[in-house]
């Protein structure tokens, strides 16, 4: 499966890009609730998840009054 085969958006996650989406899919994360349970540093450690994806995820979480897990 190439990066092109990965959707740009998955579940209720914002459009964070295919590499980041693929990295989250690889660990079974498909919802914003699952992202909210994870520490930011753990997400950043995933290959394909960079500052832009974190910024978009943070914004989506903040719109719901939430943040990353501890």
pTM of the model: 0.86
> Alpha helices of the chain — where are they, by DSSP H?
18-26, 32-36, 40-44, 51-63
Query: Tens digits of per-residue pLDDT, 15-46?
Result: 999 999 999 999 999 999 999 999 999 999 99
Cα–Cα distance measured from residue 62 to residue 70, given in angstroms and rounded to the nearest whole number = 15
Mean pLDDT of the chain: 90
Q: How many helices (H) and strands (E) does the chain have?
A: 4, 0
- The neighbouring-strand residues paired with 39 are 69
């Amino acid at each position: 499966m190439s990066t092109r085969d990965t959707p740009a958006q998955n579940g209720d996650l914002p459009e964070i890009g295919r590499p980041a989406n693929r990295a989250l899919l690889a660990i079974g994360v498909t919802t914003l609730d699952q992202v909210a349970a994870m520490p930011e540093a753990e997400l950043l450690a995933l290959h394909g998840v960079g500052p832009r994806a974190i910024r978009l995820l943070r914004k989506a979480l903040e719109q719901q009054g939430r943040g990353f897990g501890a």
